[in-house]
Amino acid sequence: PTSTGSAKLQKVSDNLRGLAEKYSGQTSSHGVLTDFAQAIDAKGVGVSKYAKIELPHGKEAHIRLSNHNANAATYAERGNNADNVSIVIKSRRTPNTFQSHPEVELTEYVYTTEAIRKDGNMLPQVAE
């Protein structure tokens, strides 16, 4: 990556380590999506926020934070076909509405507030 990309990646890494410490032992997901969005400099209108992180060897990772499942066709429309991650924190367990796309590599992690309440170490694991 460029030196600017390396600096941003290091800043994001440091920010996420800070969040892992902040949320250690926490069982409430209140404010988590906002904190994560700020930590990775994610932007967007509405509840879904997106960040592009420059990785070594000229690669980019696209990260989505939201409270609902992703539609991979949205990534295809933007030309983001590889290295995509979606992190979803839902207030309750609802049916999985994730929609795949044949040309998009997208991994989605879904957490519910119920699961977070039961496991005080879940949020630090998300940050790491």
At residue 90, the pLDDT reads 87
Q: Is it the case that residue 109 has pLDDT exceeding 70?
A: yes
Rounded distance, CA 83 to CA 81, Å?
Answer: 7
What is the tens place of the pLDDT at every residue in 31-88? 888 999 999 999 987 889 999 988 888 888 899 999 998 888 888 888 888 888 999 9
Question: Higher confidence at residue 3 or residue 124?
Answer: 124
Q: By the 8 A CB rule, do 117 and 92 touch?
A: no
Q: Is it the case that residue 5 has pLDDT exceeding 70?
A: no
The torsion angle over the Cα atoms of residues 8, 123, 51 and 59, rounded to 10 degrees, is 60
What's the Cα-to-Cα distance from 114 to each of 18, 43, 91, 126, rounded to whole Å? 24, 27, 8, 15
pTM of the predicted model over 0.95: no
At residue 38, the pLDDT reads 92
The Cβ of residue 76 has, within 10 Å, a number of other Cβ atoms equal to 15
Angular region, 57: left φ>0, alpha ψ -120 to 50, beta rest: left
Q: Is it the case that residue 1 has pLDDT exceeding 70?
A: no
Q: By the 8 A CB rule, do 50 and 44 touch?
A: yes
Question: Higher confidence at residue 15 or residue 26?
Answer: 15
At residue 78, the pLDDT reads 85
At residue 3, the pLDDT reads 53
